[in-house]
Structure 1
């Protein structure tokens, strides 16, 4: 009996590091470079011209900068990554390649520490303030500050949220475009 327990402990000790290597998180950073897609994920990219309907953008209508109607708005890129666990992360990239917005939806909550990058501590402080004001509890959270907006909600098996940097939004883009 003792040898079976010992053997199980050794097998578990050896398997744990291997399983941790197999699980890769999606590293992105709001305000920084787009994520490096984890193994097993799929990525699609499209260019959006602000002023086009948000419904078309959400449905994935492809637009190229050369085909877009000319206006004073700046086009931006939406990079959608479907993670192996079924969660979809959309990154909104400015012309310079920096991420000004992120949206997610799916059965598992993404690692907000990775997605929000250097803005994660500001988000955590905002959540604490919101929860303290409403007397604690759990549930949907909305942090709405001049430099950072994060909306996160859902339930087990169906999570969603958006985060964006209001000062970094390109001309013609609003927070409602981050979907």
Structure 2
């Protein structure tokens, strides 16, 4: 009986360790849409930064653990992340990427689906607060999400690529 209890305790400890490791690895490394980032922070080691619209915004590109390339658009004046663009073999975690705008996106996606206007491989969810375009197929995902009201002067939807 003592051996059985020790075995059970070992399994519980191993499962707790595994779950905590998985939870830590699932945490997003970057901020969500609408969050503010400090302009004083250096880019992450595997990222590249460029400016847009005469310095009105900066774009930081990085590749996540799944091999998907992200471009994070940040307003120079406020430090607010106003857009994300992605392309790669794994789809992004849109709930983490959209942050507080995820509920608006889910609601818009549900309305699009209910009306039969969602596509098999692509969709555009356009709400007053957030726009999300996503598409692709297995191992080839592409998309972008942005806050229309937060686009800096001189930056248009067409600049988000």
Assess same fold via TM > 0.5: yes
Paired with 1:18 and 1:32, the residues of 2 have a C-alpha distance of: 26
Q: TM-score, normalised on structure 1?
A: 0.70
What do residues 62-89 of structure 1 show as CA deviations (whole Å, max 9, x unaligned)? xxxxxx5xxxxx5210011211220111
Paired with 1:122 and 1:132, the residues of 2 have a C-alpha distance of: 15
State the partner residue of 1:47. Answer: 51
Paired with 1:106 and 1:41, the residues of 2 have a C-alpha distance of: 20
SS of the aligned residue for 2:48 comes to strand
Aligned residue among 4, 7, 26 for 1:24: 26
Q: How many residues align?
A: 147
RMSD: 2.8
State the partner residue of 2:40. Answer: none
State the partner residue of 2:125. Answer: 143
| Structure 2 gap ranges (5+) | 38-43
Q: Is 1:117 aligned with 2:99?
A: yes
Please say if residues 88 and 139 of structure 2, whose CA atoms lie closer than 8 Å, have aligned partners that are also in contact: yes
What do residues 8-38 of structure 1 show as CA deviations (whole Å, max 9, x unaligned)? x93973663264156233242111135xxxx
Give 1:141 shift: 1.6
Q: TM-score, normalised on structure 2?
A: 0.77
**1:92-171 to 2 correspondence within 5 Å?**
92-95=73-76, 96-134=78-116, 138-171=120-153
Paired with 1:126 and 1:173, the residues of 2 have a C-alpha distance of: 24
State the partner residue of 1:77. Answer: 58
Please say if residues 101 and 129 of structure 2, whose CA atoms lie closer than 8 Å, have aligned partners that are also in contact: no
| Structure 1 gap ranges (5+) | 35-39, 51-67, 69-73
Paired with 1:82 and 1:30, the residues of 2 have a C-alpha distance of: 17
What do residues 80-101 of structure 1 show as CA deviations (whole Å, max 9, x unaligned)? 1211220111110001110111
Please say if residues 34 and 80 of structure 2, whose CA atoms lie closer than 8 Å, have aligned partners that are also in contact: yes
Please say if residues 135 and 143 of structure 2, whose CA atoms lie closer than 8 Å, have aligned partners that are also in contact: yes
